Amino acid sequence: MSGGNPFAELTVSIPAGVIQFFVGLMVVLVIAGTLFDVWHKRSAQYFFENMRKAKTRSRRQLSGGEVSSVVVKTVASEILTSSEFCNPNRRIAHLLTMYGFIAYCVATAAMVFGHINPLMETPGIWPFLWHLGALSVCVGGYWFWFFIRVDVAAEGQPPWRLMRADLFVLSLLGSTTFGLLWSLFQGTALGWLSFMLYVISTAVLFGGVPWSKFAHMFFKPAAAIQKKIAWADGSQENLPDLGDLDDPELQARYPDIPTYMGEKPPYMGLGIKRETPNHY
């Protein structure tokens, strides 16, 4: 691994314009694939219809400051730090993969479109971020694949059992793994083999958006923010209002609440977290 810009070194064999065209094509495929996914699955239609229903059930009008506060808290908690994952291992693996992928993509764009001329020195930060991001994706991705996946960790399925839902993580791992191998063995037969596999897996990753969970990355933040706003304005995601389960009057009306939900319903205990799910 030279530690330099692998794309600049590649221009010895492949014209810079071809490399830039390929990366640009991947961007177009992501945009087109996401729009197709939204149209085909009607995700946007469902999202906006659900939002309209929530507004009709809201109990109070949130001010601009309150909405901004909800957005900032949601971004800081559920999006930037993935606090929705209760399992700390799952959370760490997700963060390694997410931030590694961001660094990997940003560094790729910088090196391909800004510093691909082999006669000009590439700032060391970009090759460093590219390699570090790819390595971070590999650590988080392989950790998830072999040790955290539900069908492997909890259901006892072999890790090589494949489903269409695995397309995203496998193509992502393929892109970063073969990218690192290409950089390590660049200029050798193994390097060219790794490069071809790198191109194929990258094309599958960005071209397979309609058949993978790639678009999920764009929907999830919007859904998380909408969920928090729905609970802040009292619409409660169109769910019925159960009232305060600690209210003595409500418990007198429904005396079986403590029986089924405990003496302090908001603190019902560990539930399914009482033991590790290994029932296979």
pLDDT at 47: 75
Prediction pTM value: 0.80
Helix extents (H) in the chain: 6-10, 16-41, 43-57, 64-74, 88-114, 125-143, 150-153, 167-184, 189-207, 216-232, 248-253, 257-261
pLDDT at 160: 82
Lowest-pLDDT choice from 154-158, 167-171, 210-214:
154-158
| C-alpha pair distances (Å), 201 with each of 15, 178, 194, 220 | 21, 8, 10, 24
| C-alpha pair distances (Å), 85 with each of 51, 82, 123, 251, 259 | 25, 6, 36, 32, 29
178-221 confidence digits (pLDDT tens)? 999 999 999 899 999 999 999 999 999 999 988 887 777 777 78
**What's the token pair of residue 34?**
């996401």
Using alpha carbons, select from 207, 199, 162 the residue that is nearest to residue 178. Answer: 199
- What CA–CA distance (Å, rounded) separates 259 from 271? 15
Higher pLDDT, 240 or 105: 105
126-153 confidence digits (pLDDT tens)? 999 999 999 999 999 999 999 888 777 6
- Exposed / middle / buried, residue 120 (Cβ in 10 Å: 0-12, 13-18, 19+): exposed
pLDDT at 3 over 70: no
Lowest-pLDDT choice from 90-94, 149-153, 272-276:
272-276
